[in-house]
């Protein structure tokens, strides 16, 4: 009985877990980039390389938060916008803001990243 209960908790009521699609493969790439950005904000070189140009705020300001893509990014060629959920390390919601991205080579980079 305990095994069945554990299995139902892992799988939920409807079966297997499906991660968000983010609308397209490029949308998923932007979401993966943002996961990497959450790690990059503790390394000056990686942080700097996450931006197409110079960051508008110092690394220490960005490192106060965690970032997640909400919904599906809007992608037009090598330009994209995405709604980014911003929260503190402790999980306090700071709201969502629209960030812009540009694809350089085969990598997405941040073009504009406003903060609360």
User: For the chain, which domains are there?
Assistant: 22-112 (3.10.450.50)
What gap in Å lies between CA 43 and CA 24, rounded to an integer?
A: 29
Indicate whether 71 pLDDT > 50.
Answer: yes
CA 20 to chain centre: 12
What gap in Å lies between CA 25 and CA 22, rounded to an integer?
A: 8
Q: What is the pLDDT of residue 16?
A: 77
CA atoms within a 13 Å half-sphere pointing along the CA-CB vector of 89? 8
Distances (CA, A) of 82 to 8, 9, 14, 27: 34, 32, 29, 9
Q: 7-65 pLDDT, tens per residue?
A: 444 445 556 766 677 999 999 999 999 999 999 999 999 999 999 999 989 999 999 99
What gap in Å lies between CA 113 and CA 70, rounded to an integer?
A: 15
Indicate whether 1 pLDDT > 70.
Answer: no
What gap in Å lies between CA 71 and CA 67, rounded to an integer?
A: 13
Q: What is the pLDDT of residue 13?
A: 56
Q: 86-116 pLDDT, tens per residue?
A: 999 889 999 999 999 999 999 999 999 999 9
Q: What is the pLDDT of residue 40?
A: 95
CB 100 within 8 A of CB 79: yes
Secondary structure class of 41 (helix, strand, coil): coil
Higher pLDDT, 3 or 67: 67
């Amino acid at each position: 009985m305990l095994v069945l209960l554990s299995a139902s908790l892992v799988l939920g009521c409807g079966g297997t877990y499906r991660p968000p699609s983010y609308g397209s493969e490029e949308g998923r790439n932007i979401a993966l980039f943002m996961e990497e950005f959450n790690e990059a904000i503790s390394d000056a070189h990686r942080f700097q390389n996450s931006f197409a140009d110079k960051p508008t705020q110092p690394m220490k300001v960005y490192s106060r938060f965690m970032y997640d893509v909400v919904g599906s990014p809007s992608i037009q060629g090598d330009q994209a916008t995405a709604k980014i959920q911003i929260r503190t390390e402790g999980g306090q919601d700071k709201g969502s803001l629209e960030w812009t991205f540009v694809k350089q080579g085969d990598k997405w980079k941040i073009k504009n990243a406003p903060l609360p």
